[in-house]
Amino acid sequence: MLRFAAAPANASPFSAHHRLIQPLQACLRRIDGWMAAPLSAQQAVLRLSLYLVLAANWPLWLQVARIGGGPGAVLRTSAALAVLVACGMAAILAFTAWTRGMKLLWWLVALVAALAQHYMLTYGVVMDPGMAASVLQTDMREAADLIGPRMLVSVAAVMLLPTWWLLRLRIPAMRPLRQAGRNAGLLVLALAMAAGTVAATARDLAPLMRNHPQLRYLMNPLASLYSTAAAAVRPALARNRVLLPMAQGAALGATHAAGARPLLFVLVVGETARADHFGLNGYGRDTTPALAARDVLSWRNVRSCGTSTLASVPCMFSPLGKEAFESRKDDTENLLDVVQAAGLAVLWLDNQSGCKGVCDRVPNAFASEGLPREARAALCPGGECGDEAMLHGLDERLAVLPAEQRARGVLLVLHQMGSHGPAYYKRSTAQTKRFLPECRTEVLANCAHGELVNAYDNSIAATDAFLGRTIDWLRAQSARYDTGLLYLSDHGESLGEYGLFLHGMPYSVAPDVQKHVPMVAWLDASLARREGLSAACLRAGGDAALTHDHLYHTVLGVLDVRSPTYRPVLDAFAGCRGGNGL
């Protein structure tokens, strides 16, 4: 028989609880005392550097482990990179190692590291200058999709200790001259250790960094600080650039002779669409039924200029081409400037975070501007407008363009929200959610791959429906205009391939799915006859290798705008002119 000893008469029901809590309280008091111990500013930045190496560089260590080479090689590489990151951080923070007013700055450095690590781990991105520039230009609507409970937990896990430590840290005062000398000593020591580490491990590190350049952008927060600084400085440098004119000699061609009907051409700048997820291009799912029903032309082998909106959109509208655009020292006028100078009306409508400078010199507006209350409620639930909002009131928007230019023709540019991630489920309506169940979280790695693909494919189906309605609107204008449409996405997207999500990887190492984009055209019969375009010829060229470089010249060609900058070899339609039309 079991017997239970009676509790002492004076025992408290909370005594067991106290026996557990007291050691914990004693431990916390010891930790707090350690954190409150006075340190020199140099010791403080060294401790912070070492902490960030250990707590905020898991993407780097995981990537080194994936590259492999055996346990010994992984350990040696990780140790060398740890020393380099610690030395780099100590060298940077040596400039901030002063006794007063620096703790908030150090806390912000830790916060940057925590945020960067979260997004690198969650989406597989790297913090290169292009990614940092995209982050700086992201509006609150897009940023809200990236904030969630997981982010808060992830950041708090890194920030708890440095926040506690910095609140308790005491730094004794020191004479400025002595302080400066110690800072200089710390800087020299950090640089010397880094140089010694590079010299000792160059045989291993040199080929590793050459073959895997993305590693340099996983060094946290070195990469984040460098890339953010580079992205912030570039606009200031750009202000010193000269805007080189490209519109001299622009004029309308023979098809605009007196009595000719005006053109109405719509250029749709897509967002985050992958060519291999378009049913038109042989994808196993019918994601593009609306386009297929409207007998469009599709090019299946098109590559983007960049892997982000910021990189691609200005490049695709430039006359320079990718190589010259990326190496330019000055800015140039773009496609819209040339078309407007030739005498046609131009309007840019945006349903994203802006035109990245492309539309600065032509009439432009956001889709949400001027929407009546009822239309806003229907088209912009939760404050984010669907792409259909760009089609609302288009006749009224065109009517306010200069009458003389409008009488010759209109180039209308629609910049989509498209398939912008990570909240793909927000980019489709109930009517276009054809593939279920779908991923309904912004933490894409938490979704089954099939659900993630369903959500993304639903967003492609929504783009298909939007383009179908745009073509129907153009058909309704055919009594007054010769009409046509060209759709081209700015970049593609990673959906978990190689552990990557979203886009924005450096172009040289980005997977093809971030660069392979869809391009679709629709021309009404009157515009095809006007241009003398052969449908059979155009369809036969559906597998031609094209890039964003072709956009500028193709649009000038279809609008019959003559310009010294026009190159027929880059006009996707040029080889099919001279026939009797579609």
CATH number at residue 335: 3.40.720.10
- Report the pLDDT value the prediction gives residue 27, as an integer from 0 to 100: 79
Residue 467 has what pLDDT?
98
The pLDDT, as a whole number, for residue 280 is 96
224 and 317 belong to one structural domain: no
What is the model's pLDDT at position 442?
Answer: 83
Q: Is the pLDDT of residue 30 over 90?
A: no
The share of the chain scoring above pLDDT 90, in percent, equals: 66
Domain boundary among 236, 252, 286: 236
Q: Indicate whether 244 belongs to any domain.
A: no
pLDDT at 228: 83
Segments forming the whole domain that contains residue 170: 21-236
Backbone φ/ψ region at 356: left (φ over 0), alpha (ψ -120 to 50), beta: left
Look at residue 442 and tell me if it is in a domain: no
Are residues 217 and 287 part of one domain? Answer: no
- Measured on CA atoms in the order 109, 111, 114, 118, is the torsion positive or negative? negative
Structural domain ending residue among the three candidates 211, 236, 261: 236
The torsion of the CA quartet 57, 59, 64, 65, rounded to 10 degrees, works out to 110
pLDDT in tens, 256-302: 987 789 999 999 999 999 999 999 999 999 999 999 999 999 999 99
Same domain for 197 and 344, yes or no, is no
Does residue 364 belong to any structural domain of this protein? Answer: yes
Mean pLDDT for the chain overall:
89
Same domain as 176, residue 231: yes
| pLDDT tens string 434-444 | 999 999 988 88
One-character DSSP codes across 438-472: ---SS-GGGS-HHHHHHHHHHHHHHHHHHHHHHHH
- Number of structural domains the chain divides into: 2
**Structural domain contains residue 294:** yes
Please compute the mean of the pLDDT values over residues 8-12 and round it to a whole number.
52
What's residue 100's pLDDT?
83
517 — phi, psi (to 5°)? -125, 155
Domain membership flag for residue 258: no
pLDDT at 1: 44
Does position 241 have pLDDT exceeding 80, yes or no?
Answer: no
Could you give phi then psi for residue 360, rounded to 5 degrees? Answer: -60, -25
**Structure confidence at residue 224 as a pLDDT band (50, 70, 90):** confident
3-state helix, strand and coil shares in percent for the chain, rounded to the nearest 5? 55, 10, 35
Q: Return all residues near 508 (Cβ < 8 A) that are at least 6 apart.
A: 213
Please report the sign of the dihedral spanned by the C-alpha atoms of residue 385, residue 386, residue 387, residue 392: negative
Q: Mind listing the pLDDT tens digit for each residue in 111-122?
A: 999 999 998 888
pLDDT for 140 equals 65
Give the pLDDT mean for 208-229.
85
What's the pLDDT band for 574 if we cut at 50, 70, 90?
very high
What is the band of 178 on the pLDDT scale with cuts at 50, 70, 90? Answer: very high
pLDDT number for residue 4: 44
Residue 95 confidence (pLDDT): 94
Measure Cα distances from 194 to 42, 63, 85, 421 in Å: 17, 21, 9, 39
Residues 488 and 558 in one domain: yes
Find the DSSP H helices in 100-245.
103-123, 129-136, 140-144, 149-168, 176-211, 222-238
Q: How far is residue 117's CA from residue 129's CA, in Å, rounded to a whole number?
A: 16
Domain assignment present for 509: yes
DSSP E strands in 340-472: the ranges are 345-350, 364-366, 409-415
Domain finish residue from 216, 236, 256: 236
Mark whether 209 and 295 lie in a shared domain. Answer: no
**How far is it, in rounded angstroms, from Cα 125 to Cα 117?**
10
Q: For the segment 381-422, what is each residue's pLDDT rounded down to a tens digit? A: 878 899 999 999 999 999 999 999 999 999 999 999 999 989
197/301 same-domain check: no
* Strand ranges, E, within 368-452: 409-415
pLDDT higher than threshold 80 for residue 571: yes
Segment 74-108, tens digit of pLDDT: 888 899 999 999 999 999 999 999 888 899 999 99
pLDDT tens sequence across 322-372: 999 999 988 999 999 999 999 999 999 999 988 999 999 999 999 988 888
Question: Measured between alpha carbons, how far is 366 from 414 in angstroms, rounded to an integer?
Answer: 10
- Shared domain for 285 and 213, answered yes or no, is no
Say how many residues make up the chain. Answer: 582
